[in-house]
Amino acid sequence: MSDLPRLTIKLCAPRGFCAGVDRAIQIVELALERYGPPVYVRHEIVHNRFVVDSLKAKGAVFVEELSEIPETDAPVVFSAHGVPKAVPSEAASRNMFYLDATCPLVSKVHKEAQLHHKRGREVVLIGHAGHPEVVGTMGQLPEGTISLIETVDDVARFEPRDAGNLAWVSQTTLSVDDTHAIVEALTARFPEIVSPHKDDICYATTNRQEAVKAVAPDVDAMIVVGAPNSSNSQRLREVAERVGCPVSVLIQRASDLDWSDFDGVRSLGITAGASAPETLVEEIIAVFAERYAVTVETVRTAEETIAFNVPRELRTEAAE
């Protein structure tokens, strides 16, 4: 019998890669297979250092702006977060061969914003300033026709040109509960504001938050595997904290663990943000198994079967 203390690990399901992240990584990998390195990628393809480093090792070259890319016939991939309209325009003006890895659910928000603008509405975007998805969505419309709202307090300060001619859209990776509060404030102040036909927060963000809500109240500590610049991962940590988990930490790798956070822990919840690969979850379970007699349980709150096609250029080549 083991002398190690017992630890029950509750794995949230769903966790980790979503369909949009899976598609984006596939696009880079297929481009590398088909065209060979280098394949240039504008911004981190997804917000995960492990994923980015593994693609770098295969020949992907990451840049923040197209201006960093020399004159080349090599493919250029736009990240899953989406880009402002100016980026494909610049790529076209330089005759670049580009592949758009924007998540289809982000593209849906872009189309909604464009449609509202076309119909003469001022657009409100609920999101976090500076996040690449927000930069991309705001960059779909002329300056001054879309306004960013980050908090309920922002709603009170917002002064639209025409309060009777507004519509809202949102970043796809927000806290479901926080966004609901902002939408309530918007509709209370602007009763005629037009809402999306279907919630803009993506299915994966919602499902991962619901799984955390099911696990976090029943464990001594919660680990969210993800990057500090990953919006959906940060929201998972906040959700765990909000539902009463005493310790809620966001880490990228097992090597980031601060063992003092887990003194006396007998039950542990683990989830992973939508851009964190499962191998990082397995790595963390393995290091706990060196210190504890571990029992692993999976707590599933939803099934996910969604998959997105890669761009036609890569499908055609793959078929050949």
Q: Which of 90, 133, 304, 317 is catalytic?
A: 133
Structure tokens at 275: 């851009």
Is the Cβ–Cβ distance between 303 and 23 less than 8 Å? Answer: no
Interaxial angle between packed helices 49-58 and 19-35, expressed in degrees from 0 to 180 and rounded to the nearest 10: 10
Residue 50 half-sphere exposure, CB side, CA atoms within 13 Å? 20
Which residue do the tokens 């309209």 mark?
85
157: closest CA among 168, 170, 166, 148? 148
CA distances from 293 to 7, 285, 307 (A): 6, 11, 37
Instruction: Provide the sign of the torsion angle of the four alpha carbons 269, 272, 278, 284, taken in this order.
Output: negative
Catalytic: 297? no
Q: Residue 3: in which H helix or E strand, if any?
A: none
Other CB atoms within 10 Å distance of the CB of residue 1 = 4
Helix axes 312-319, 19-35, angle to 10 degrees: 60
Which residues are the active-site residues?
Answer: 133
